[in-house]
Amino acid sequence: MCHPWCRAILCISVALVGCGRGVVGTAPSIATVEGPTALNSPIQHVVIIMQENRTFDNLFNAYPGADTVQTGMSNGQPIALQPVSLADPRDLGHNHTDWWQHWNNGKMDGFAQGRASDPYLPYSYVPQSDVAPYWALASQFTLGDRMFQSNTGPSFVAHQYMIAGQSGLASENPSGAVWGCDADASSRVALIGPNGTDLPGVYPCFDYKTMADLLDAKAISWRYYAPGKDDDNFFVLSAFQAIRHIRFGSDWNSNVISPETQVFSDIKSGQLAQVTWIIPSFAHSDHPGSTNEGPDWVASIVNAIGTSPYWNSTAIFISWDDWGGWYDHVDPPQIDMMGLGFRVPVLVVSPYARKGYVSHQVHEASGFLAYIENIFGLPNLGARDVLADNFSDCFDYTQMPRPYVQVHTEHTPEFMIREKASGPPDDD
């Protein structure tokens, strides 16, 4: 029986053992069903590019055919959304307790932040000119305006859903400068509690099954590109670092790749894996306080694939891990005690993606896992991937593969490879 605060159609329970360095979590108690038959499609490569901390209303405001607003609500009062540069340095609170305040029981009017110098900064949008490469990709391929982050908190949790469809009920970012199984013995990550609260934490090292395990079992190649410890402070976002059997197994040295810019040379040399995750450095992340280079980073990766022999067999998903504190007007569906969280954009780029299509189907990051399972005929993880939509509305595999037209960027891949590390880790 679900707790009263579950507010959901699904009750997840997780058993956590101990509190010290060896803490691991078990998978959610969802009945496992056999995965679907492999989709009869030309897709042989799936690429997931995860950016940082933007809502749909913030990043694609006024995009034609999409559901956005120019006026938000704050405690029942209308607030006009104001343009704010992508490179604006001001960060916003976006932990699980902030989410609960912003959501305000579905009223979507609690985003004003009293502790900020400008409490109404969350009621902002990024001008189209700052994110032109994203809009160019959306116009040529598919944009989703009902993509929701999987969780109601920050990046550590969101990235676990991206690889596993769960987080062991972790609700926040871990304490300390290093996350995951390399964290200091005193590090803890809070667990989700009732009514927007956090419960006392556990060591941020888990051992549930991930997509990497399903891929390994079928000898399907995968790589996870993320900054390394000596490359950028965003090395903390390397999600597999929090999975004990990956961090201390053979996959860590063979399939977890840093620096993340190696993806360019791997594409060029014909080394693109069948499944690829790509995490940016801070400078290229779209995180407030970084730079305006995130759109060029993403477009450069897409350009590299689009002009390679991989193009006709690839599906690329581009999304943002959490809302970052920015306003969004759409009340997210509540699937279970962990989410869904607020809307984030998703771009689906492929020669078989529907051109200029705006998907209004509900999506979330666990759907990337469902898509991979479908494409490669894998069983599911028995986690959120069981419920997630697999983006089927975004593709037409009967169409002739469309040739790729390069997206203009202001910065080259070589510039971004040479760029020095920058920025602090995301502290919430």
Per-residue pLDDT tens digits for 150-188: 999 999 999 999 999 999 999 999 999 999 999 999 999
125 in a structural domain: yes
Q: Give residue 41's pLDDT band: very low, low, confident or very high (50, 70, 90).
A: confident
CA dihedral 253, 256, 259, 265 (to 10 degrees): 100
| Across 236-256, average pLDDT | 97
* 407 in any annotated domain: yes
Measured in degrees and rounded to the nearest 5, phi and psi for residue 255 equal -120, -15
CA dihedral 376, 379, 382, 386 (to 10 degrees): 60
Q: Is residue 226 situated within a structural domain?
A: yes
Q: Chain-wide mean pLDDT for the chain?
A: 90
Count of structural domains, the chain: 1
Provide the CATH number for the domain around residue 117: 3.40.720.10
- Cα torsion 323, 325, 328, 332 to 10°: value is 60
Question: So what's the pLDDT on residue 38?
Answer: 55
Q: Are strands 77-80 and 71-74 parallel, antiparallel or unpaired?
A: antiparallel
Q: What is the pLDDT of residue 427?
A: 55
Considering only the C-alpha atoms of the chain, give the largest distance between any 2 of them, rounded to a whole number of Å.
Answer: 55
Q: Is residue 426 part of a domain?
A: no
Burial bucket for residue 7 (CB in 10 Å: 0-12, 13-18, 19+): middle
Where does the pLDDT of residue 24 fall: very low under 50, low under 70, confident under 90, or very high at 90 and above? very low
- Residue range 137-144: mean pLDDT, rounded: 98
Residue 83 and residue 125: Cα distance in Å, rounded?
A: 5
Q: Say what percent of the chain tops pLDDT 90.
A: 84
pLDDT for res 113: 81
Q: Residue 20 domain-assigned?
A: no
Residue 46 pLDDT more than 50? yes
**pLDDT bucket at 232, cuts 50 / 70 / 90:** confident
> Is 60 exceeded by the pLDDT of residue 307?
yes
Q: What is residue 13's predicted lDDT score, i.e. its pLDDT?
A: 36
The helices-and-strands tally (H runs, E runs) of the chain is 11, 18
Helix (H) or strand (E) holding 369: helix 366-376
The whole-number pLDDT of residue 428 equals: 56
Flag the least confident range among 14-18, 207-211, 370-374. Answer: 14-18
Q: Is residue 9 part of a domain?
A: no
Interstrand relation of 82-83 and 71-74 (parallel, antiparallel or unpaired): unpaired
pLDDT tens digits, 65-111: 999 999 999 999 999 999 999 999 999 999 999 999 999 999 999 99
* Residue 204, amino acid: P
Q: Contact at 8 Å (CB) between 380 and 366?
A: no
Write the pLDDT tens digit of every residue in 216-226: 999 999 999 99
Cα–Cα nearest to 92, from 328, 295, 317, 298: 328
pLDDT value of residue 159: 98
The SS3 of residue 415 is: helix
Decide if 285 contacts 294 (C-beta within 8 A): yes
Q: How many CB atoms are closer than 10 A to CB 197? A: 14
Has residue 15 been placed in a domain?
Answer: no
For residue 2, pLDDT over 90 is answered with no
Task: List the one residue out of 217, 191, 267, 255 whose CA is nearest residue 35.
Answer: 217
In this structure, are residues 2 and 20 in contact, taking their beta carbons and an 8 Å threshold? no
Query: Strands (DSSP E) along 154-194, which ranges?
Result: 189-192
Is residue 30 in a domain? no
Structural domain boundaries, residue 325: 36-418
- What confidence score (pLDDT) does residue 418 get? 87
Predicted confidence band at 421 (pLDDT cuts at 50, 70, 90)? low
Give yes or no for residue 388 having a pLDDT over 60.
yes
| pLDDT beyond 50 at 201 | yes
Q: Are 331 and 148 in contact (CB under 8 A)?
A: no
The confidence band for 234, taking pLDDT boundaries of 50, 70 and 90, is confident
Confidence category of residue 37, pLDDT binned at 50, 70, 90: very low
The closest of 334, 341, 302, 337 to 320, measured between CA atoms, is: 341
